[in-house]
Structure 1
């Protein structure tokens, strides 16, 4: 199916295709034995029918093994979709990623449809933090990766940079993207692996033009707020966590999904989920007992 370029209306609703957690590797399979390459391919085939996309955003855990090869596979597949639509594609790090591999493949993480790096500014040198603009919308990526750990953290230097960027409003506001959700989710299998300093992050956003915070990591969709700012968590690509698992267990199943985030004249975003046409959706990948707290 041949798709037209991104939304041609310069003032109307902005549509962001929000992807997260492809967990690609050099060999194609993630650490749980899931064919991550297949998962991304069938999702992008389904998404070929989604129209009027202005930006493709991928919020981390791009390479399950932290490899350059995993990052390149993501850039090849997601980049081809963005190039077909003539829209930019933007990436953040996740806890499985390695900064050196990320920078080698994605540079700042803010790429034009043709792969050119279009970051207007970059954050502290030891982070993958940057900003670019799409039709008047400011897109900021922050780097919550803590090497060797599952949880996330934003250092003061990075938060100071973010406050400086947000000090001047953008024509159509700002979205901030990162991997780890800056919220508390009680009774959740990943409750100990979220952003560790959400209060400091919230302070950096306070009084700014941020319209939404977009993140991943949880492998299922979720909505919340940080201060007064909406937070949306994209579902996972490689697997999704089934929250109907037995008490005391975390269950992963197949079924790639993505989110579409629409930003209209109203401040609050509208989001919905797109599910890949996968005949294996719902197939169990793992059922693991949670450690006693």
Structure 2
């Protein structure tokens, strides 16, 4: 199973530069153009922050771009695309354009089952070549951090009671693992322990997430967790502790499951003449202020 994993496209309502001077749509176009030579791809996963402000027009543009790309992948008539929500997304607009988030190669909704009603989150299940893909919804409206609701976790445990032929791929936005970075600790998944309880002893082979705009690998107990870098920009951790710098450069990942050495993870960086230019930089005081402004109330 070969999965192209993208995240944090942050598309705007209009095809124009954002307030940081980056055209998110151009970043996605560039990344997809770089990925066009990949072969043997079975599925594409896009883990949230699809639209920067939840605009319907942004989801429509994403569906058109990703759909066209997905139809060119694989050995036949294309591959499915699985989308999740992120903290910048809006559930109603997401559902209006992307349905369950599980789109078949022909663009139709290919979901096998989903969690209803929608206020519990956009969670859904599909199967590709014996691998089960489950997307969850870690969005907390108006907040930067993530949380998986009790309803989602109960639903997930029930789904996992029956193993899939080759195992399960679990995808959502907020990572359940962090480095010792203040913003990551504050803005990651708030209940990783509850997720660990829900998947313990199950057939989950890998957890795919985004949100941090950098590549990161770790484990939630015995389950591998991969954080793919962002498409719109990347976070550069060479800055002083407590500060934050974002730089230009679209990135994506290849995740390979099965075989003697799986899972394997590889990161792609688009060739961009302006790559590594600073998009924004926050000093320690600005970073603390950002964290305090968005921190969840205990």
Same fold (TM over 0.5): yes
Do residues 23 (structure 1) and 10 (structure 2) align? Answer: yes
CA distance in 2, matches of 1:269, 1:70: 32
TM-score (norm 2): 0.91
Q: Distance in 1 between matches of 2:171 and 2:197?
A: 16
* Residue 220 (structure 1) shift: 0.6
CA distance in 2, matches of 1:160, 1:267: 32
Per-residue deviation, residues 162-216 of structure 1 (Å, max 9, x unmatched): 0000000000100100000012422353320000000000100100000000000
Deviation, 1:267, is 7.8
- Alpha-carbon distance in structure 1 between the residues aligned to 2:30 and 2:259: 33
CA distance, structure 1, for counterparts of residue 106 and residue 213 of structure 2: 29
Bigger fraction of residues in helix: 2
- Kindly report which structure 2 residues correspond to 1:141-290, keeping only aligned pairs within 5 A, or say none: 141-266=135-260, 268-289=262-283, 290=287
Unpaired runs of 5+ in structure 1? Answer: 1-13
Q: Matches of residues 111-150 of structure 1 in structure 2 within 5 Å?
A: 111-125=103-117, 126=119, 127-150=121-144
Structure 2: how far apart are the matches of 1:206 and 1:31?
42
**1:148 to 1:80, Cα distance in 2 relative to 1, 3 A:** same
Aligned to 1:90: 82
Corresponding residue of 1:11:
none
Task: Name the CA distance, whole Å, in 2 between partners of 1:187 and 1:99.
Answer: 29
- Give structure 1 regions of 4+ aligned residues with deviation exceeding 4 angstroms: none
> Match for 1:101 among 90, 93, 106?
93
Q: Which residue of 1 aligns with 2:288?
A: 291
Deviation at residue 268 of structure 1 after TM alignment: 4.3
Q: Are 1:128 and 1:143, in contact at CA under 8 Å, matched by a contact in 2?
A: yes
Distance change in 2, residues 1:134/1:31 (3 Å): farther
Preserved contact between residue 254 and residue 282 of structure 1 (Cα < 8 Å): yes
Q: CA RMSD in A?
A: 1.3
The gaps in structure 2 that reach 5 residues or longer are 293-298
Equivalent residues, number: 280
CA distance in 1, matches of 2:23, 2:227: 23
Q: What residue number does 1:52 align with?
A: 40
